């Protein structure tokens, strides 16, 4: 579809069909309220929970969706509030890097220790975890890369 960039064509009808099948999930209940059986694509979720390959791809899919959602939030809300000159390339990259640092603080300070590895003793900003400083540093590096490209690629002319 995009021969200049070499990007593949995505089968969106297939994805929409799978989503539709997942939304048509049916559960069969007994008289006492217990689930007797399930039908539908997402009723078989155990293949993702018990399978390391499945959990990897579910995690990658969630990061992909989060990347899209937070890019939209950057463009609609955060970009106008962050310091930096919106008229220059370096100013927009500065805004993206600041946004990446904010996302790192939220991720390493709140999400990972209190939602993902709750009760495992990872401590303040994950420094007490088994990897020490490496996990928060990795989170920072990847969010800075994301913020750099977000600021470099999104530079509207309407401001």
Domain boundaries defined on the chain: 1-44, 45-153
At 80, the pLDDT band (50, 70, 90 cuts) reads confident
CA distances from 32 to 29, 36, 63 (A): 8, 10, 39
Q: Is residue 121 predicted with pLDDT exceeding 70?
A: yes
Predicted pLDDT of residue 41: 45
> Is 48 or 55 the better-scoring residue by pLDDT?
55
Residue 8: CA count within 13 A, CB half-sphere: 3
> Is 22 or 121 the better-scoring residue by pLDDT?
121
Query: In the predicted model, what is the mean pLDDT of residues 54-63?
Result: 76
Phi/psi-derived region of residue 108, left when phi > 0, alpha when psi is between -120 and 50, beta in every other case? alpha
Closest C-alpha to 147, from 108, 112, 97, 103: 97
At 109, the pLDDT band (50, 70, 90 cuts) reads confident
pTM of the shown model? 0.64
Collapsing DSSP states into helix, strand and coil, what is residue 61? helix
Round to whole Å and give the CA distance between 129 and 54: 25
| C-beta of residue 98 within 8 angstroms of C-beta of residue 83 | yes
């Amino acid at each position: 579809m995009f021969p200049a960039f070499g990007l593949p064509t995505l089968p969106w009808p297939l994805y929409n069909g799978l989503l539709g099948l997942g939304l048509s999930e049916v559960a069969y209940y007994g008289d006492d309220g217990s689930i007797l059986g399930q039908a539908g694509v997402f009723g078989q979720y155990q293949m993702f929970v018990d399978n390391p390959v499945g959990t990897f791809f579910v995690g990658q899919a969630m990061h992909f969706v989060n990347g899209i959602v937070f890019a939209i939030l950057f463009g609609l809300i955060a970009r106008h509030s962050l310091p930096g000159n919106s008229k220059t390339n370096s100013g927009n990259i500065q805004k993206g890097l600041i946004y990446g640092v904010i996302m790192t603080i939220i991720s390493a300070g709140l999400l990972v220790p209190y939602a993902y590895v709750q009760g495992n003793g990872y401590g303040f900003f994950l420094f007490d975890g088994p990897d020490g400083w490496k996990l928060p540093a990795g989170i920072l590096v990847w969010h800075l890369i994301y913020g750099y490209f977000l600021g470099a690629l999104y530079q509207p002319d309407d401001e």
